[in-house]
């Protein structure tokens, strides 16, 4: 019983070619798996999404700005509103105007969502229909 080791006088050479058959088999199996799973992943409900163009806000004199600072204080056109009931009365007074003004909300980035949500709820209760948010464009640095 003998063993042939290359370089010991035998005429056998070391195998220098790569056997690519297993590699091709694995790649074909992966290709089949991807072809089967891609249609399953991309199935969604067909919906026509709205097309949006970013347009700057047209500030009109009759628009009202409601600002909320990081402490939760609410300001109606630069003057602080003492409580929620006073804000509701201010909203009701402008809700009866024709045409009804828009209310633009400027929320501080550090303001609590609860304060902003409460303000929106009060504006809805007051009867104003058009409410928008004023934001800064993301310039990629902070």
103-107 and 131-133 strand pairing = parallel
Banded pLDDT at 35 (limits 50, 70, 90): confident
Rounded Cα distance, 48 and 51, in Å: 9
Q: Domain holding 80: CATH number?
A: 3.30.420.270
Q: Which one-letter DSSP state was computed for residue 101? A: P
Banded pLDDT at 127 (limits 50, 70, 90): very high
| Single pTM value for the model | 0.56
Residue 115 in any domain: the answer is yes
Residue 102 in any domain: the answer is yes
Question: Which residues constitute the domain of residue 87?
Answer: 64-133
Which H or E run contains 117?
helix 113-126
Better pLDDT: 45 or 101? 101
Residue 22 in any domain: the answer is no
Q: How many domains does the chain have?
A: 1
- Reported as half-sphere exposure (CB side, CA atoms, 13 A), residue 19 has a value of 4
Residue 116 in any domain: the answer is yes
Residue 97 in any domain: the answer is yes
């Amino acid at each position: 019983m003998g063993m042939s080791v290359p370089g010991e006088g035998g005429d056998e050479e070391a195998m220098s070619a790569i056997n690519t058959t297993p590699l091709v088999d694995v790649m074909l199996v992966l290709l089949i798996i991807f072809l089967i799973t891609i249609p399953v992943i991309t199935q969604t409900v067909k919906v026509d999404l709205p097309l949006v163009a970013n347009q700057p806000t047209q500030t009109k004199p009759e628009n009202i700005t409601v600002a909320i600072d990081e402490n939760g204080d609410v300001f109606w056109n630069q003057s602080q509103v003492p409580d929620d009931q006073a804000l509701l009365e201010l909203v009701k007074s402008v809700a009866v105007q024709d045409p009804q003004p828009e209310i633009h909300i400027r929320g501080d980035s550090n303001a609590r969502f609860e304060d902003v949500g409460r303000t929106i709820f009060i504006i809805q209760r007051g009867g104003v229909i058009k409410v928008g948010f004023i934001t800064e464009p993301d310039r990629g640095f902070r």
